[in-house]
Structure 1
C-alpha cells in the first residue's frame, strides 16, 4: 500500500501592507498627480498640495482618503501650516514627495536677478521648507520616507537650462546631507531623477529675454529639439515610485527611464576619465604642512 507523501506546507501569505499617508506637492498635474492617484488607487491616504489643485483632479471614489491643500511652496509659513494640517487630518505622515517645480529657460547671461531667484525659490527652497515642516512629524514617529523629485538636468548642465540645472544640483546636494542627518531618526531620503515624461513643465516654463549674441547657439539647439523626443506617460513613473516606497532598503538615488540611465553612466565615465587625465595635477596640489603660526 502506497502512502501519499505529506503535502509541502504552503508559504505564508505576506501580511497586508497597512495604508500609508502621502504628502505630495505639485499634485495638480504631471508627475505629482500621477503619484497621488497611484497612492489613492492602492488604498493609501493622500494630502494633495498645489497652487490650483481641486478634488475634481481625482476620482470621487477616493474622496474619503483625500485632502486637497491649496499651497504655494515658496511661502514657508503656508508650507508649515499645510504639513501640520495634513498630519493632523490623517494622524501622521509616511511618505513626503517634493514634486513641485518650475522650469526657466535661457542662457545664464540672459537671466535677471529676479528670474534667477524665482527658479531657486520653488525648486530648492520650496522643497527645503517642506522637509523642515515634515521632519518633526517623521522624527517623532521614528519613520518616514522623503522623495525629492529631481531631474535629468541634475546630471549635468546643458545650454539654456543652466538655472534649472543649478536648482536641481542644489536640491541634490541638500538631499544628500539630509539623508545622513535624518537616518538616525529612521527617516529615509531618496532622490528621484526622471527622464522625459508628458507633463506641463514645458508648457508652463518661463523664458528669459533672448540676447542676440546667443542667436547661433539657440538656432543649433532648436535644430536638435526639432528632431523631437518620445516621452513617457507619468503613470510609468508612478509605478516605479510605488516599488521604491515599498522597498525595505530604498536607495539614495533612483533613475527613471532608459535614456536618463544611460546618460548618467556616460556622464560619470567622462568625469572619471577627466579626473584620471589630470590626476598628477590634482595630487600635486596637496601637501600637509603645519598650521600657519603654529609653534615649532
Structure 2
C-alpha cells in the first residue's frame, strides 16, 4: 500500500518537470520564430551618407630651396666637378704665429692635465715681484691672458698688442700630472735639509729659494696623485706614489704613500691650491706640513734660517 503511494507521488513530480520542460521549449521556439520574422525589418533600407574627406591644399615648394643640394651633386648631367668646400679666411682670421714675449713674465713651471682647461702654469710677474698660478683664460695681472698651456711653455695673448706670444721654462723640464712615470732628473747632490728632531727640520733660505724657483725639477723628483675622501669623493690632499732616491722630498722627511694634506693650516684640495701654497713658502720663516702616514696625521715642521 505504502509502495503504491510512493510511486504515485513520484509520477506526479515527473509530470510536473515534463510540463515545465515543454513550456520552456515552447517559449524558446516562439522567440526564435519571432526573431526570424522581424530580423529583416531591423536592417537599414538605405546606405549611410558618405563623409567627404577634408583635403589640405597642396603646398608647392620652390625649387630654388634645393639649389644648394643640386649644385653639390657630383653626378649631375653637366659632369662639372664643384669646387671644394673650404673655410674662407681673410687676413684678420689667419692663425697667429706666436712670438717670444717681451713682457716681464717668467714661467716657473707647468702642470699639464688631460683636460687642457685644467692645466696650470706658475708665472712670476717680475714688475710686481709676485708669483701666481694661472689656468687657460686667466688674466695675468692685466698684462696678458693665458691662451693655452703645454709642456714647458705657456701661450699668452698680449693685452696691449693683442698678439699671440709665449713664455717658456729656462730649462727643458716639465711635469705632466697624469704621467705614468716621473722623468729622470738629477737628485740633490748634497743634503740641504737638516733634521734637528723627529719631524723637525732646518733649511737655509737660499736653499729654499733654489728649489722654489725651479719648480719643474722639484716636481720631477716625485710622482703624486690626488687623494680623495672615500665618503665624499672630494680631494683632501695629494698622495706621493714614488720618490727618487736622495730627492728633496726624502730630505724633508717624506716617504712613499704619504698624503700631503695642508701647509701652514691651509688645506690642499686642488692642484692650483698646491701651486699657490708652494709659491707662498718663499717668504715664510716657518713651514708646517700636515701629512697623513699609515692612517695617522703628523705635522712636519721646517724652520727657515738665514
Common fold: TM-score over 0.5: no
More helix by share: 1
Structure number with the bigger relative contact order (C-alpha 8 A, sep ≥ 6) is 1
Rg larger for: 2
Structure with the larger strand share: 2
TM-score for the superposition, normalised by structure 2: 0.28
Normalising by structure 1, report the TM-score: 0.29
